[in-house]
Every structure is written in C-alpha cells, then in structure tokens.
Amino acid sequence: MALLNGILAQLLNGLRIGSIYALIALGYTMVYGIAKMINFAHGDIIMVGAYALYVFVSLLHVHPALAVVLTIGFCAVMGITIEKIAYKPLRNAQRLAVLITAIGVSYLLQNLALLIFKATPIPFGSIIRVPSITVGEITISGLTMVTLAVTAVVMVGLTLFVNHTKMGHSMLAVSEDQGAAKLMGINVDRTITITFAIGSALAAVAGILYISQYESLLPTLGALPGIKAFVAAVLGGIGSIPGAMIGGLVLGIIESMSKAYISTQLADAIVFSMLVVVLLLKPSGILGKLSIEKV
Amino acid sequence: MKKVLKTAGIACTIAMLASSVASAADTFLIGGVGPLTGAAASYGVSVKQGAEIAIEEINAAGGVTVGDTTYELALQFEDDQASEDIAPQAYNAVMDAGANVIMGAVTSGACIAITAQTYADGILQVTPSGSAEACIENDNAFRICFSDPEQGVAMADYMTDTLGLTKIAVIYNTADEYSTGIREAFEAEVAEKGGEIVASEAFQTNDTDFNAQLTTINGTDAEAIYVPAYYQDATYITKQASDMGMSLPFFGSDGWDGVLGTVTDPATVEGCIFTSPFCASVDDEKTVAFVEAYKAAYDATPDQFAADGYDCVYTFKAAMEQAGSIESADLIAAMTEISVSGQTGDPITFDASGAPIKDVKFVTVKDGAYTFVE
Amino acid sequence: MKKYGKQIIGCVAAAAVYAAVMILVNGGFLSRQMMSLIIPVCMNIILAVSLCMVVGFLGELSLGHAAFMSIGAYSGALILKSGLPTVAALPLAVLVGGVCAALLGLLVGIPVLRLRGDYLAITTLGFGEIIKSVFNAATPVTGGAGGLKKIPPVTTYRNFTFVYILMLLVILLVSNLVKSRHGRAICAIRDNYIAAEAIGIKVSFFKTMAFVIAAFMAGMAGVVYAGNIGILKPVNFDYNTSIEILVMVVLGGMGNITGSIIAAFLLTVLPEMLRGLSNYRMLVYAIALIAMMLFNNSPLKRMLVEKHNMRQAGKIE
Amino acid sequence: MALLEVKNLGISFGGLRAVDGLNMTIEEGSLVGLIGPNGAGKTTVFNLLTGVYRPTDGIIRLDGTDLVGKNPSQICQAGIARTFQNIRLFSDMTVADNVKAALHNQISYSLAGSLLHTPHYRKKEKEIDGRAMEILRVFELDQFAGYKAANLPYGKQRKLEIARALATNPRLLLLDEPAAGMNPNETAELMETIKFLRKEFQVTILLIEHDMKLVAGICEELTVLNFGEVLCQGKTADVLKDPQVITAYLGE
C-alpha cells in the first residue's frame, strides 16, 4: 500500500512538471509546425512572461486577472516584434540561419533581463490560489490541476482553431507548402506572424503558470524548461498538437519515475536515453507524421 | 548607465595615475575575477559590491599607508561567467591592467582554472568564496570562506552531537562541486558519528522541481534534511516541502545565506539552520555599518558573498601594512602573520595552507529573521 | 596550375600567421589577455572546421559536438596526468582523445542512419546530455562535478607550435577530404540523398564516416582544451558549448572552411574585445550575432551573390 | 538472355495496388519506352527497379542477378542508373562535381588518399577529371564544368542528370520523362543525344515519356501501363495503333 501510494505520488509529481512541459511544448510545436523553425528563444519568452506578470502585479499593482491578460498581450506583441525584426528577413535563408538568430535572440532576452532585474532571484508569490485535494494519503496540488486543465484547454482550443477557422486553414496550408500557399492567395507573412503571436502568447501562459508553481524569478529561468519542452515536443512528434501534450506528460512522468526509482544522479541521462530509444523505434516521435519524400 | 560611467571613471583614474607616477597617492589595484553575467552572476556581483564598499571605506579613511607611500585602493573586476574557459582571459585582462593582487575567482572551478597562472606569476591570490580545496593548493593562494569539507564536517558534528539526530536525508546538486564536496564530507562524518544517511538525493543545476526527491524522502524515516546548496535551490526545496505538508527540519550550508530574500513566505524556512560566517541582521556595530552602506549604495542586503568580498579587501590592506611593501612575495609572506577583523570572522587569521582560521557559526531563521544559534 | 596557386597561397598564409604570432608573443607586443586567447582560437578553429564537415558538407545538424570534445578531453587528460614525459604524453593524449571521440562518433552514427533533420539534431543533443550526466556520476574516474583537476598545462600559448600544427593539420585534412571522391559523396548526400543513393553512394557509410572523422577532430580539440585550462568539468560541455561551435559554422557560411575559420576567430575574440562594456558585454554580443546573421542574408549580400550567379548564367545563354 | 527480366512485379501501398503483375523483358542494346496516362504507375516501376521501393511480390533480374531487396546504391552498382522526373541534381555542387560524384565507384582510391592527397590520389583524380570531361563533352556541357549545377538552364540540367547517370557506367539506363519541359527544338536535340549515347556508351535504355513524337521517333518497343497494369506491349508502331491505347490516352 505504501509502495502504491509512493508510485501514485511520484506519478502526480510527473504530471505536475509534465503539464508545464506540455504547455511550453505546445508553443514550440505550433511555431515549428507552421514556420518550420526551432525557436530557441521560446524558453526565454516564458521568462519574459514571468517577469512581465511580476511587473504588472507587484510593481504596477494591476489586478491579477487583468495582469494575466496584459502579460499575454505583451508577450504576443513581443513575439510579433521579434519575428518581424529577427526572423522575417531570413524567411528564404537556410533554416539553420534562423536557428542561430533565434539563439541570438535568446541571449539578448536573457541579458536584457539580467540588466533590468539583476541576477538575484526575485520572490514572487503565486497569483493563482487553488486549494489542494486530498484523496486518502495522496495530495493533488491545486496548481497542478489548474496547469493540466489549462494545457488541455489550450490543446483542444488549438486543435479546433487550426482545423475549423480560416486562419487555421491558412496555417495548415503554410505548413504544408509555403510556396503553394502563397499561390493560393494566402498571406504567408501574416500567417506566420500570427503563428508567432499565438506561440508567444502560449509561452506567456506557460510563464504565468510556471512562476505560480515555482515562485522565483531568474533571468535564466526559461532555459531549462525550454530545452526540456523542446525534447517533449520532439518526443511527441514535433508539429503535432496532441503530440506535444503527450510528449510533455510522458517526459515529466519518466523524469519523476527515474528520479524516484532509478537514480536521481542519472535522471537526465535516463530521460535522454528514453528519447533516443523512442526516436529509434519511431523516428518521427510518438504522434509525428513521417514525411516520406516523393521520388 | 551609471555603472558604465563608474567603470569608465575608474579606468580613467587608473590611466591618469599610471601616467603620473609622482602623484601623492599611488594606486594599488585589486584585480577581481568572478561572474557578472550568466547563471552565477549574483555571486560575482555581490563580491564585487562588497569589495567596493570596503574600498570606499578605506580610501575615505585615507587609503593604505605602506612605508612612506599612501596607496589608494582601486578595483578592476572582470567577468568570467563562472566558467573555467573564460576565467584565464578575465585574469589576464586584470593583469594587463596592472593588478597588484588577485581577488578571485569567485567560483571554485574558475578559481582552479587560474591558480596555475597566478602561481607562475607569483602574485597574491585570495579567493573570497572559492571553497574547493584545490583553490588554495599553491603557496600564493588563500581563501576567506570555509572549505567545502570543513563545512560538511562542522554541520555533521552539530547535527549528530549537539542535536542528537541520527537519521538524515540529503539533497545535493550532483553537477556542482561545492554541493558534492560538502555532501561527501558530511555523509562520511555522519557515518563516523554513528548516524545514518537514509536518503541521498541528487539534482542538477537549474532544476526547479524537487517534488520527486522530497516524495522519496517522505517515504523514509528521516528526522532531518540536509541541503548543501545555494539559496535558490533551498527556496524551491523548502517551498515544495511545505506544500507537500512535510515538517522535517532543514539544515543547510553557507550557500543558504540570502534565502529569506528569495522565499515568498518566510514560514517555509522558519527554524532552518545553516552554517554561515555572516548574518546581515545581527546588530553588532560593524555588521550594521556594512549593511547600511551596502543598502545605500546598491539598494540590496549584502549576503555572505558580499561579506567575503569585503573581508578580502581588508585582508589585502592588512597584508600590505604587515609586509610594509606591495611586492607580491612580501605580501604572500605576510599573509600568515596578519589578523583581520572582518565581517565573516573576527579575528580571521590564515594558516600556511592558505585556509582561514575563524569560528564556524550556525545561523537560524527565527520569526522571519536570521539570528546566530547560541 | 590554378589549384597549386591556391595551395601556395595557403602555405604562405599559414607560415605568415605563424611568424606573426611568434613575433607578437616573443616580442611582448601582445597583452596577456590576448595571449591567453591564442590557444582557444586554435581550438575553436579545430572545432568549427570539424563541425563544418557535418553541418556544412554532410548537411546534418549536430548539437552534440561538445560531447565528442569532452570524451577527447577526459581521455586525453587521463593520459596527460599519467606522468609520461610531455614529449610522449601529448601526442599520445591527442591520439587517444581523438580515437575515443571517434568511437563515440560511431555510436552516435547508429541513430544517424535512421534519423534526419531536427530529429537527428535533438538526438545528438540528447547524447551530449547523457555523456555529461555520466561524467558527473563517474566521480572516481572523472572527478565528478568537482572536475578532473591538475592536468599538466601542456597546451598553453608556450606550446603554440604544437597546437598550431594540429590546427593546420585539421584544416588541411578537411579541405583535402572535400576535394576528393569521399568529400564529393558527402556533399552529394547533403544536396540530394535520393540521387546520391541512385548513383551508387552508400549513404549510411558516408554519413557515419563524416560523423566519425568530425568526432575524432573534436576529440583532439578536447585534449588541447584540457591542456590549456587544466581542469575539466562536465558542465562546460553542455549543449550551449555545442551551440557556440554551431554558431561559428553557420556564421562562417556553412560549408565554407575559410568562413568557419574566420567566424571561429571572431567569435572567440569578440567577447574579450567587448570587456570594456562591462555589464553590457553579452548584450552587445547577442546583438552583434543577430546583426551578423541578418547581414549574411540581407538583400545587399544576396545582391552580390546573385550578380555572380547571373554572370554565370548569362555566359551560358 | 535478356538484360532485364521482370516477372509478375507488384506493389501495394496500403490498399492501393500501384503496380500489379508487371512482366517485362528488355534485350541488351534495345531502347524501350514505358508510357501511359498520368498516375498509371510508371515512376513507381522505376522506383521498384532501382530499389527505392521494395516490391510486394515479383522478380527483378538484371542479367540473371536477383535485384529484389537490394538498396538503391547496390542496384546502381549492379548496373542500373536513372534520372528523375523532378530533376535531382546536386545543386550546390559544380557541374563537373556532379559527374565526378557519380564516378565514385568507377575510379576509386582509399580514404587515406582523400585525406592526404597522395600521389595515387592525384593520379586517380586526374583520371576522374578526364573521364568526367569526356562525358560532359558528349552533352556539350564541358564549357560549364565549373558552374554551380543550380545555375544551369533547365534543359541543360536535364542533360546533366543523364550525364551523371551515365557516369556510373550502367548497363541499363532509366530515363524518367527526359523531355519534360523542353521546347520542340530541345526535344529534337535530346532525341539525337539519346541515339548517340546509346551507340557511344552501348547502354540499354528504358524511358518514360509523354512526348509521343519522341517516343515514336526513337523507341523500338513500348510497354503501356494503365492503373498499374500492363495494357499492351510490343513494337512501337503496333502499340501506337492499338485501339485500347488510344482509348486510354484520349478517353472514351
């Protein structure tokens, strides 16, 4: 019974961190699926979202609900700006060129935050207060439930948006073939800009939930969840919206299970080994489409 | 912008002083090496700011008189991003600027990466916070802080002998030298004293989620948790433990200093005990003066890194006065003869190995404020 | 005749650089800060040129170059620490470091055969993180998080000649390889792997070969690193290091060896030149990086390239 | 014995039977056309013959050697070379290097030679240079040897692809719509080239083509595919008169 409770508790720990990964991975996968670029700065937009929320709530004393909206708006605008300045001129360049620029943007955001907010972590209490639920000996944290719910809603919302709106269809078209989409009268630039706006807004949501969970602001806070979420997105099949959700949750659970029952020292090694194994068995991730080149 | 002007100002001053050798007050340049950017930036910034406070104090009081010459202290602090790769360049940059002594590096690895060169150059090197034993292997190298094993042993003794705890869980950073160094010594000493390490859980730098480790510990019969790590980690760990409803007492290393500044609810660290040479909230005169000056200058409460930086500068002053010279060899020889009245110890003396001799103190959080454990 | 002309220019340039560095170092014209950059520059050139082979010529994105470097660094460092006289230990360490890294390259080569593009990239990143974790955990051999210490400083700027020769060798081997049937096969795979297969090129073999050779060279660079810094820590070989090397290759114009060399030099020296900016240093570095990438793909640059292409096409018509 | 023997060849993609029960023999030295409406499965046949796809059933023999299950590079070494419907050049490489890459297995030397540029390497490279130029000259591409392949005009890119395929010294050459996108003049020129290289390189040719003028002009035999199955096979003149073929092409 104790063992079972232990396993259950560790599963919940996995869900807690996994739901955050999933939320971030959704943003990654969205941008990747449509703009076909790995946005290495995605994690740093989460950081910006977290700091923005802090500025609105603690420094400007805006009502938390409004602050959430403002934060999402701020990040979306920032996403658009970054896209316009740093990525758009590279639309026709090699894909790697954009990747490197994204890394540059990541450095830029981190160092800007460092200059503005300094290196010392800033404590910032959660604005989301949801009571935990206790079932038997197991306690489920309120925030975990909120994060899971938000991630699920976002996933469903994104799927509906992509499949049932005009903009969504444009996105699908652009993701299939930019050139053809352009010929069909789709405004590719605008579609990609909107993709970035949505991706950044999702990053903001992730940032808000992340900071509510961990309550400490650091200029580098986005880096690690960013890279883990990237792994999650690939694990789930990058470009696939439900894949991102599954990848995130699976990654979180593997992580907490290997920490609990194998080795905390080698947890990262185990997580990445799992990734390699999954990709060897299924080269395009759990839910990814294998694109076969037509000969 | 202010900082740029300030740096430019210092640089100008150095240039002017260098060009006019005959000026009344010569400059004694302290070369600082430590992280000002990157994940470890806060340690380097603290050391730098603590040292600047000390330098201002000393210069305001007329500088350091060595023989017939009065020296004004100056600091050139170069960023090493806490990286072994960049530390040599940072060190050589301050040497190019004509540093007389080296304060640094702030982190152990970066410090070790430059010890061979400082030794070859024969310059006095005092690391404020490089706690690995290898930092002071050479004869020219000294340190202000305790070494990792010293801290681990001191805490193990305190927990087993004084508090009578026998079943202890440990959470440590497997990717961090400081953390693994303390942990090793701590676990060995606990075993020596007949205690038991019931869980030894690792995490990685930048990890923020400790629920898996805490859940594991919760499943053991641990009586206390020892966390040899930095205050950010402690912040996450104590918060998540309290969220889980754990009530085990926490013990920590000197990296915990500053934890009250980063927790959202002081109750989560209430009653924790950590080894620390410095405590900003005690009300002896010297500490209060330092804390106030620091607050006025940087709008922040000094942590132990700042105190280490401060003491480092006073160590240089004492060595200059004792040596009666600013030649490196004389300064190094004087190090074992001086006694410094610092923030992290009073007195601080140094043994031939380069380690400081000062009392280990334990700090606890009581009613949301630090106090020394009596 | 034109071919030999290029080779002569290369030799002259190599000798001139060597002479210039020796004069600057021994004549005391260089600041210590600049002297401490000499070896890192050489090392980064080796890393960039070797990665250039995988990214630029083979066309696969690798985010695990630092892992190869770390294997080389650790195995080489163990040899350096073994107490052999430097004359024997250094070449042996470089060789062993290279071989160990090449073996890992072979291991990584297995997924390489199945994966492409971003999936391969994330796998190489994963390999890097696995290696890092293992090094962290294998304390008895690697010193764990505390690092492998007291490595004899055998590749400081005083041993510039050795490192420089190593660097030239790497540049020579890679540029030779590119101009050979093996190099053509690798480039063919990059340009169109289906057509490459169709003309009888064994794609898996050449992919693995490119990875192994690049890994070997990165391993040698790792030994240079070990002998220069004197302490090895797993954290210094994380994906950020791999990305830094990748930045050099991409900035150098992918598949352009000279470009990689110049980019490696610039990106090593630039952060040091920016020290005067103190806190704004990394910010300026980031902006410079973005600006350079944007320039590389700007209409201005494209116009210049296109003009060249048009001239070629024009001649044909 | 026939050079190429295909018996009962078939492949299914999921439920779709893309090629079914294909029988075909090609005699050494002949020039055969594979025609049929769009989507008839012609390119799929090429992909089966060159190992891009593995057949679900059937036999492929080149000069008696079984080719089923071999990968494309092995099949190329066995003696089948091809061009592609959508040109697949090594576009960032020079025109000469495109051909030299294809000489990879013909004129060989060790990796050590590649890395060190040994005298043996120099000798062999000279040989490769000579051979490549020889082939390029046949296609009148020699003066563009140093240009990037991507910078060639379309018609010349098609020619280069054929040149590259020939460099592998094939016994059987598969041409996938060589005249696609060419104007009548270029097509006429291409016909001459094909005739010439057939003699010059003594290669057997199987080609897919929609341009009936070309097909009628140079192919000796034809196989007509429709919905993955053989509609008709035989001498060119007979096949083109077959009412079934005409219906398949022109509709009801």
Average pLDDT over residues C232-256: 88
pLDDT of residue A287: 85
The answer to whether residues B129 and B165 belong to one domain is no
Average pLDDT over residues C244-251: 89
- For residue B339, count other CB atoms closer than 10 A to its CB: 13
pLDDT of C220 strictly over 90: yes
The answer to whether residues B74 and B115 belong to one domain is yes
pLDDT of residue D241: 86
Of A180-189, B328-337, C93-102, D101-110, where does mean pLDDT reach its minimum? A180-189
Burial of A294 per CB tally in 10 Å (0-12, 13-18, 19+) = exposed
Contacts of residue A220 in chain B, CB cutoff 8 Å? 38-39, 206
- For residue D31, count other CB atoms closer than 10 A to its CB: 20
Residue D146 lies in domain: 91-169
Residue B108 lies in domain: 2-146+286-357
Q: What DSSP string runs through chain A?
A: -HHHHHHHHHHHHHHHHHHHHHHHHHHHHHHHHHH----TTHHHHHHHHHHHHHIIIIIS---HHHHHHHHHHHHHHHHHHHIIIIIGGGTTS-HHHHHHHHHHHHHHHHHHHHHHH-SS-EE---S-----EEETTEEE-HHHHHHHHHHHHHHHHHHHHHHHSHHHHHHHHHHH-HHHHHHTT--HHHHHHHHHHHHHHHHHHHHHHHHHHH-EE-TTTTHHHHHHHHHHHHHH-TT-HHHHHHHHHHHHHHHHHHHHHT-STTHHHHHHHHHHHHHHHSTT-SSPPP-PPP-
B220 in contact with A at a CB cutoff of 8 Å?
Answer: no
Per residue in C188-203, pLDDT (tens digit) is 999 998 999 999 999 9
The answer to whether residues B154 and B268 belong to one domain is yes
ipTM exceeds 0.90: no
Instruction: Answer yes or no: are the C-beta atoms of C213 and C107 closer than 8 Å.
Output: no
Instruction: Answer yes or no: are the C-beta atoms of A118 and A218 closer than 8 Å.
Output: no
Per residue in B272-300, pLDDT (tens digit) is 999 988 888 788 889 999 999 999 999 88
Q: Which of B93, B4, B82 is closest to B43 using CA atoms?
A: B82
Q: Which of D169, D189, D207 is the last residue of a domain?
A: D169
The answer to whether residues D151 and D121 belong to one domain is yes
- CA-CA distances (angstroms) from residue D139 to A47, D146, D184? 60, 15, 18
The answer to whether residues B236 and B155 belong to one domain is yes
Mean pLDDT of chain B: 89
Mode of pairing for the β-strands spanning D172-176 and D57-62? unpaired
D111-138 b/e with 16+ CB inside 10 Å = b? eebbbbbeeebeebbeebeebbbebbeb
Residues C127 and C124: their CA atoms lie apart, in Å, by 5
pLDDT of B20 strictly over 70: no
pLDDT of A34 strictly over 50: yes
> In the structure, what pLDDT confidence band is assigned to residue C312 with cuts at 50, 70 and 90?
low
**Alpha-helical runs (H) found in chain D:** 42-49, 72-78, 95-102, 111-116, 119-138, 154-167, 184-201, 212-218, 236-241, 243-250
Any idea which residue has 């942590």 for tokens? B303
Burial of C11 per CB tally in 10 Å (0-12, 13-18, 19+) = exposed
Contacts of residue C285 in chain A, CB cutoff 8 Å? 107
pLDDT of B19 strictly over 50: no
The answer to whether residues D64 and D181 belong to one domain is yes
> In the structure, what pLDDT confidence band is assigned to residue D250 with cuts at 50, 70 and 90?
low
Amino acid occupying residue A52: A
Mode of pairing for the β-strands spanning A216-217 and A122-123? antiparallel
Sequence-ordered list of residues with C-beta below 8 angstroms from that of B346, at least 6 positions apart, any chain: B286, B358
pLDDT of D121 strictly over 90: yes
> In the structure, what pLDDT confidence band is assigned to residue A290 with cuts at 50, 70 and 90?
low
B41 in contact with A at a CB cutoff of 8 Å?
Answer: yes
Q: Helix, strand or coil for residue B362?
A: strand
Contacts of residue A11 in chain B, CB cutoff 8 Å? none
Any idea which residue has 């060896």 for tokens? C257
The set of chains that have 3 or more CB pairs under 8 A with A is B, C, D
CATH code at position B339: 3.40.50.2300
Instruction: Answer yes or no: are the C-beta atoms of A92 and A98 closer than 8 Å.
Output: no
Bridge partners (DSSP) listed for residue B371: B364
Which of C182, C198, C312 lies nearest to residue D76, judging by beta carbons? C198
pLDDT of B9 strictly over 60: no
Instruction: Answer yes or no: are the C-beta atoms of B303 and B257 closer than 8 Å.
Output: yes
Bridge partners (DSSP) listed for residue B372: B363
Average pLDDT over residues A48-72: 95
- CA-CA distances (angstroms) from residue C309 to C16, C80, C252? 33, 51, 20
What does pTM read for this prediction?
0.89
Residues C200 and D166: their CA atoms lie apart, in Å, by 12
Bridge partners (DSSP) listed for residue B188: none
- CA-CA distances (angstroms) from residue C189 to A100, C55, C208? 23, 12, 12
- For residue B374, count other CB atoms closer than 10 A to its CB: 5
Residues D138 and B72: their CA atoms lie apart, in Å, by 84
Q: Which chain C residues in 261-280 lie under 8 Å from chain B, judged by CB atoms?
A: 271-272, 275-280
Q: Residue B264: inside a domain, yes or no?
A: yes
C159 in contact with B at a CB cutoff of 8 Å?
Answer: no
Tokens of D127: 């040989």
**CA nearest A232 in C: which residue?**
C122
Burial of B3 per CB tally in 10 Å (0-12, 13-18, 19+) = exposed
Per residue in D136-156, pLDDT (tens digit) is 998 889 999 999 999 998 888
pLDDT of A138 strictly over 80: no
Question: Which of C57, C172, C173, C184 would you mutate first to test chain D, the one with the most D CBs within 10 A?
Answer: C184
Sequence-ordered list of residues with C-beta below 8 angstroms from that of B30, at least 6 positions apart, any chain: B51, B55, B73, B74, B75, B76, B99, B100, B101, B102, B103, B313, B316
**CA nearest A261 in B: which residue?**
B216
pLDDT of residue D244: 84
Per residue in D35-56, pLDDT (tens digit) is 988 888 899 999 999 999 999 9
pLDDT of residue A1: 63
The answer to whether residues B153 and B165 belong to one domain is yes
pLDDT of residue C288: 86
Average pLDDT over residues B115-138: 93
C230-250 b/e with 16+ CB inside 10 Å = b? bbbbbbbbbbebbbbbbbbbb
Peptide bond into B41 cis (omega under 30): no
Amino acid occupying residue B323: A
- For residue B223, count other CB atoms closer than 10 A to its CB: 18
Task: Count the domains in chain D.
Answer: 2
First to last CA, chain C: 28
The answer to whether residues D150 and D193 belong to one domain is no
pLDDT exceeding 70 applies to what percent of chain D? 98
A90 in contact with B at a CB cutoff of 8 Å?
Answer: no
CATH code at position D181: 3.40.50.300
Mode of pairing for the β-strands spanning B362-366 and B369-372? antiparallel
**C-alpha torsion C30→C31→C37→C42, nearest 10:** 10
Per residue in B300-311, pLDDT (tens digit) is 889 889 999 999
Tokens of B361: 């103190």
Which H or E run includes D52? none
pLDDT of C1 strictly over 50: no
pLDDT of B6 strictly over 50: no
The answer to whether residues D179 and D118 belong to one domain is no
Sequence-ordered list of residues with C-beta below 8 angstroms from that of B75, at least 6 positions apart, any chain: B10, B29, B30, B32, B48, B51, B52, B55, B103, B313
**What is the three-state SS of A5-55?**
HHHHHHHHHHHHHHHHHHHHHHHHHHHHHHHCCCCCCHHHHHHHHHHHHHH
Mean pLDDT of chain A: 89
Instruction: Supply the DSSP symbol for C57.
Output: I
Q: Do chains D and B touch (3 or more CB pairs under 8 A)?
A: no
Bridge partners (DSSP) listed for residue B199: B169
Task: Choose between C316 and D48: higher pLDDT.
Answer: D48
pLDDT of residue C146: 85
A81 in contact with C at a CB cutoff of 8 Å?
Answer: no
pLDDT of B222 strictly over 50: yes
Instruction: Supply the DSSP symbol for C84.
Output: -
Mean pLDDT of chain C: 88
> In the structure, what pLDDT confidence band is assigned to residue B67 with cuts at 50, 70 and 90?
confident
Of A52-66, A118-132, A258-272, B9-23, where does mean pLDDT reach its minimum? B9-23
- A interface with D, Cβ–Cβ < 8 A, is 295
Do A283 and C279 make contact, defined as CB atoms within 8 angstroms?
no
Q: Residue D223: inside a domain, yes or no?
A: yes
Peptide bond into B347 cis (omega under 30): yes
Which of D101, D109, D113 lies nearest to residue C185, judging by beta carbons? D101
**CA nearest A254 in B: which residue?**
B212
Q: Which of D140, D169, D198 is the last residue of a domain?
A: D169
Instruction: Answer yes or no: are the C-beta atoms of C237 and C128 closer than 8 Å.
Output: yes
pLDDT of D114 strictly over 70: yes
Instruction: Answer yes or no: are the C-beta atoms of B253 and B278 closer than 8 Å.
Output: no
- D interface with A, Cβ–Cβ < 8 A, is 43, 47, 52, 84
The answer to whether residues B336 and B230 belong to one domain is no
Average pLDDT over residues A103-131: 89
Angle at CA D171, nearest 5°, toward D169 and D172? 115
In chain C, DSSP finds a helix count (H) and a strand count (E) of 14, 0
Q: Which of D139, D169, D199 is the last residue of a domain?
A: D169
Q: Which chain B residues in 152-211 lie under 8 Å from chain C, judged by CB atoms?
A: 173-177, 179-181, 205
Amino acid occupying residue C298: S
Beta-carbon pairs below 8 A across chains C and D: 118
Residues D164 and D104: their CA atoms lie apart, in Å, by 11
pLDDT of B121 strictly over 80: yes
> In the structure, what pLDDT confidence band is assigned to residue D251 with cuts at 50, 70 and 90?
low
Angle at CA D190, nearest 5°, toward D187 and D196? 150
Contacts of residue C31 in chain B, CB cutoff 8 Å? 92-93, 96
Contacts of residue A263 in chain C, CB cutoff 8 Å? 137
Instruction: Supply the DSSP symbol for B158.
Output: I
pLDDT of A293 strictly over 70: no
C158 in contact with B at a CB cutoff of 8 Å?
Answer: no
Q: What DSSP string runs through C164-213?
A: HHHHHHHHHHHHHHHTSHHHHHHHHHHH-HHHHHHTT--HHHHHHHHHHH
pLDDT of B10 strictly over 50: no
> In the structure, what pLDDT confidence band is assigned to residue B252 with cuts at 50, 70 and 90?
very high
Of A201-205, A284-288, C61-65, where does mean pLDDT reach its minimum? A284-288
C148 in contact with B at a CB cutoff of 8 Å?
Answer: no
**CA nearest C234 in B: which residue?**
B175
Average pLDDT over residues A166-192: 88
CATH number of the domain located at residue range(s) A11-118+131-281 in this protein = 1.10.3470
The answer to whether residues D176 and D73 belong to one domain is yes
Tokens of B52: 């600047």
A115 in contact with C at a CB cutoff of 8 Å?
Answer: yes
Which of B89, B179, B205 lies nearest to residue C33, judging by beta carbons? B89
Q: Residue B364: inside a domain, yes or no?
A: no
Average pLDDT over residues D89-94: 93
Do A89 and C247 make contact, defined as CB atoms within 8 angstroms?
no
The set of chains that have 3 or more CB pairs under 8 A with C is A, B, D
Per residue in D190-205, pLDDT (tens digit) is 898 898 888 888 899 9
Burial of C8 per CB tally in 10 Å (0-12, 13-18, 19+) = exposed
Residues A206 and A49: their CA atoms lie apart, in Å, by 8
Do C145 and B116 make contact, defined as CB atoms within 8 angstroms?
no
Task: Count the domains in chain B.
Answer: 2
pLDDT of B7 strictly over 50: no
**CA nearest B237 in A: which residue?**
A214
Q: Which of A103, A79, A86, A93 is closest to A31 using CA atoms?
A: A79
Do A13 and B209 make contact, defined as CB atoms within 8 angstroms?
yes
pLDDT of residue A172: 87
pLDDT of A162 strictly over 80: yes
pLDDT of residue C315: 63
pLDDT of B13 strictly over 50: no
B85 in contact with C at a CB cutoff of 8 Å?
Answer: yes
